Amino acid sequence: MTPNYLTGELAPVDDEIEAYDLQVEGTLPTELTGRYFRNGSNPVPGEDPGHWFTGQGMLHGIRLNQGRAEWYRNRWVHTKRMDGGALYGPDGSRDLAAGAANTSVIEHGGKIFALMETSYPWEISPELETVAPCDFGGRLTTGMTAHPKEDPETGELHFFDYGMRPPFLTYHRLSADGELVTSFPVQVAGPTMMHDFAVTRNHVVWLDLPVVFDFQLIGRGMPYQWSDKYTSRIGVMGKDDPTVTWFEVDPCYVFHVGNAREDGQGRVILDAVRYDRDAWFESWTKIGGAPRAEQAASLAVSKLHRWILDPSTGKVTEQELDDGSIEFPTVDDRRVGLANRYLYGVDEHAIVKFDTDRGVIGRHELGAEWRAGEAVFVPAADSSGEDEGWLLSIATNTDPAVASQLLVHDATDVAAKPVASVVLPRRVPAGFHGSWIPDGELSR
């Protein structure tokens, strides 16, 4: 039986193509001149990676220019793994150039990187060709998270690595021009799978949660599993101080953070998508993870959640912000680590706008046969309001014969029909994370 992660909207494509002068329905904003790139797992033909998260990375790119969709192309990220290189050696050591580079794609310091948390970043050309692994002049000796955070005030890029052996967590920081300037270990309880984290103006926020490395699962997809013995904690650390204030929280897991910020009382407010134990197993088993031993009592979903962390008192307050299913939260990048009102996310068939004061205030339904991809916010030219801009998202149909679309929504009115839809020349498998890279960023 074909596993879920190789069928339907997740089914991989088996070749690299390109097409020009794409059909556009509606009107593309002329200010959107740049590239939308999106990364995802796409095993090479004949490969079963054992888990959705471990297939070889494939980038899909659409070039927009002055109201036209000039081209689409897709390319595998040609890491050492494409030539048979193994990520883990028999002793559990990592080859940092052999990861699949399948999770996200970012621009920093005028360069484009494809990222996967267990390996080096891979530099990519503006035309999606693989250039080389990057260790920032030999200074990076660990992997790099797929979810780095760029400080909008300093331009610095904060990131980390986690691993199965001590030090289990290492913090890094790049300068605005791409030089690795800070690295130090951070003490955590064990080999936790820390997929995401957060920053505020003064702090780094760590997620030390009970999905941990299991040596018995090596060679069976993702070697991580929920542990009832591992305490759930959130940590607050100064950006230049490895001392962490830890807050014990209700057992949960977090794949993706929406945003974090400091309030007037010096507390840290973290908004993220929370999985309880049932929701974790419900999701993990579907995408290739080891199943739970017992039957779930009921269907559970991931929900938007808030933690208020007070370093002065050591107290934490938890609050469910919405009871609906949500994933892939995004925010205006100019608000990362700062006060924000809006978050954008998706559930299976819809793009959602969330007001942190009022709850869900916009929802665009795609239809039962469509799957919504992560919605990336792009600020409008000369925008003054936080939500003045565009949301870019690739929508995938469950019918493999139906072409995918790049949807462009007005972020101020998510419920309305897209202002433009770019018809892509093929089905794009549902994937992970993307970025909008304006032309000006690549000319630095």
Q: How would you class 237 by CB atoms within 10 Å of its CB: exposed for 0-12, middle for 13-18, buried for 19 or more?
A: buried
pTM: 0.96
- Residue 391 backbone dihedrals phi, psi, to 5 degrees: -115, 125
Distances (CA, A) of 64 to 16, 71, 103, 134, 412: 20, 8, 23, 28, 21
CA dist 94 and 132 (Å) reads 18
In order of start, what are the domains of the chain with their CATH numbers? 4-442 (2.120.10.30)
pLDDT of the residue at 93:
75
- Which segments in the chain show pLDDT lower than 70? 92, 293-299, 443-444
pLDDT of the residue at 83:
81
pLDDT of the residue at 289:
87
Per-residue burial over 373-387, b if 16 or more Cβ lie within 10 Å, else e, is bbbbbbbbeeeeebb
Name, in order, each residue with C-beta under 8 angstroms of 166's C-beta and a sequence gap of 6 or more. Answer: none
Residue 190: both structure tokens together:
């064990």
C-alpha gyration radius of the chain: 20
Residue 368: both structure tokens together:
């039962």
Pure H helices in 288-330: none
pLDDT of the residue at 109:
95
pLDDT of the residue at 180:
98
